Amino acid sequence: MISPVTPSPRVALVETSDVLPGLLPFQSWDVLGTAELVLLRDVEAHPSAPHLHMAGLDLETLAPAQLERSDLDLSRPGAPDDRRLAKALVARSVAAVAADPEAGPVVYLLGPDDGGIAPALAGMAAQHDLEIELVFLAQQPEGTELLRLVEVMRRLRAPDGCPWDLEQDHASLARYLVEETYELIDAIERDDDVDIHEELGDVLLQIVFHARIAGDRRVFGIDDVARGIAEKLIRRHPHVFAEGDASTAAEVEANWEELKAVEKSREGPFDGVPSAGPGLELLTTLQRKTARLGFDWPDADGPLAKVREELDALIAASDAGAREAGMGELLLAIVGLARHLDVDPEAAARRVSRSFRARVEAVLAEVSAAGDDPRTLAPDEWTTLWNRVGAAELE
């Protein structure tokens, strides 16, 4: 008489996300729903535990097993804590099959600290003829990690959170938004992907921080901010989301401005243009909007002649007031010339600032190496060093 074959013990590992703890695919719920008991590393700490409780599932914290001498095999994968839990899972699955050959798998809900459980189990599978089923989480949609940032910010602003974060308001954070924005611009102009990555995160933090402050006041929240900009993008891109027509970037920009004017009930060309901010950028914006009305030079010859005219007027200015006004007119003309040459004057100013800074530092390095004090140098000595450093940069 042939003895019946004993079924292999089975363990089902169900993957979860601490960012979306309540979101599980139907394959996961299928395994969890048929289990008599769901095991976890810690019922109190697992992010998905409250959701499974609400679903009526029975949960239990898995007690780690003791590692014996026979388990002390350095070739087996997994940290000691993972191997203790894996051994306990093996023991539970072996006992389940012994009690009922038709028993389903022992189900373990993976948590944030359980990355080593599957490898540890795999190292024990052959010894115990263990079958391991890994139920993967559905692919998370792009943007899921934003939820983690929102939760971190909520925790920082909680009553028992960070004292500094709790003291902030929109006004106190304004300067940080400006600083982080310029740090991002600097990274972009240096074409440094690593820094762009970091600085984008810093700017994003400011957005989430401001939204959290508004949420604490119950005026709006991060979802309102995201929903508002998404709906605006849809409205302003009818050629993509509706029946609009725009085949070139210029047509898209023109449509955008027309829709914007209608939405905001703006009448004047400068409505909505803030007076604060960098002067060259403000002049560029004002000139660009004026050019749409037809007030512009046909080519670069006009603004170039205007630059020469305003430079002569500045040189001829006889008092401080006239010089300041003349300098303003000269800058206005220079911005007009830059616009016709397709040059961003603000970016050009930042670029030459970086070059100027590096060149001055190179001059100071030479002066220091010679043991001299730069404040004692004569103007012609400064000029000689300046030209020498500039020539070296061109080599």
- Which CATH number characterizes residue 31's domain? 3.40.1010.10
**Shared-domain flag, residues 185 and 128:** no
**Shared-domain flag, residues 26 and 82:** yes
5-9, 74-78, 272-276, 305-309: least confidently modelled range: 74-78
Query: Among the three residues 236, 264, 289, which one is the final residue of a domain in this structure?
Result: 236
DSSP 208-254: HHHHHHHHHTTS--HHHHHHHHHHHHHHH-HHHHSS----SHHHHHH
**Shared-domain flag, residues 85 and 165:** no
What pLDDT shows up at residue 168? 95
Q: What share of the chain is helix, strand, coil (3-state, %, to 5)?
A: 60, 5, 35
Residue 260 domain-assigned (yes or no): no
**Shared-domain flag, residues 75 and 152:** no
User: Which contiguous run of DSSP H or E holds residue 314?
Assistant: helix 301-316
**Mean per-residue pLDDT, 230-234:** 89
What pLDDT shows up at residue 4? 57
* pLDDT, tens digit, 9 for 90 and up, residues 289-322: 888 888 888 999 999 999 999 999 999 998 999 9
CA distances from 199 to 148, 183, 192, 205 (A): 18, 7, 10, 10
Residue 215 domain-assigned (yes or no): yes
Domain housing 361: 349-394
**Shared-domain flag, residues 99 and 156:** no
**Shared-domain flag, residues 32 and 121:** yes
- Positive or negative CA dihedral for 222, 228, 233, 238? positive
Whole-number percent of the chain with pLDDT over 70: 95
Q: Where are the beta strands (DSSP E) in the chain?
A: 10-14, 38-40, 59-61, 106-109, 131-135
Q: Distance (Å, rounded) from C-alpha 5 to C-alpha 357?
A: 81
- Taking alpha carbons only, the member of 257, 337, 342, 248 closest to residue 293 is 257
Task: Tell me the residue type at 222.
Answer: I
What pLDDT shows up at residue 1? 44
Number of domains comprising the chain: 4
Residue 107 domain-assigned (yes or no): yes
pLDDT at 53 over 80: yes
**Shared-domain flag, residues 169 and 198:** yes
Whole-number percent of the chain with pLDDT over 90: 43
pLDDT at 46 over 90: yes
All residues at 6 or more sequence positions from 389 whose CB lies less than 8 Å from its CB, including other chains: 359, 362, 363, 366
pLDDT at 284 over 60: yes
**Shared-domain flag, residues 82 and 57:** yes
Q: What is the C-alpha end-to-end distance of the chain, expressed in Å?
A: 93
What pLDDT shows up at residue 76? 72
What pLDDT shows up at residue 394? 56
Enter the pTM of the model: 0.66
Query: Among the three residues 92, 112, 135, which one is the final residue of a domain in this structure?
Result: 135
**Shared-domain flag, residues 300 and 361:** no
**Shared-domain flag, residues 176 and 108:** no
Q: Distance (Å, rounded) from C-alpha 177 to C-alpha 166?
A: 17
All residues at 6 or more sequence positions from 54 whose CB lies less than 8 Å from its CB, including other chains: none
**Shared-domain flag, residues 114 and 171:** no
pLDDT at 60 over 90: yes
pLDDT at 71 over 80: no
- Taking alpha carbons only, the member of 205, 207, 202, 259 closest to residue 232 is 259
Residue 252 domain-assigned (yes or no): no
Strand order in the sheet with 106-109: 59-61, 38-40, 106-109, 10-14, 131-135
Query: Among the three residues 87, 109, 135, which one is the final residue of a domain in this structure?
Result: 135
Contact 108, 61 (CB under 8 A): no
Q: Distance (Å, rounded) from C-alpha 121 to C-alpha 105?
A: 14
The CATH number given to whatever domain includes residue 323 is 1.10.287.1080
191-205, 253-267, 284-298, 373-387: least confidently modelled range: 253-267
Residue 329 domain-assigned (yes or no): yes
Residue 262 domain-assigned (yes or no): no
What pLDDT shows up at residue 5? 62
* pLDDT, tens digit, 9 for 90 and up, residues 94-104: 999 888 888 88
Residue 98 domain-assigned (yes or no): yes
What pLDDT shows up at residue 137? 83
140-149, 247-256, 304-313, 323-332: least confidently modelled range: 247-256
Residue 53 domain-assigned (yes or no): yes
**Shared-domain flag, residues 129 and 16:** yes
pLDDT at 245 over 70: yes
pLDDT at 220 over 60: yes
Residue 34: DSSP 8-state: H
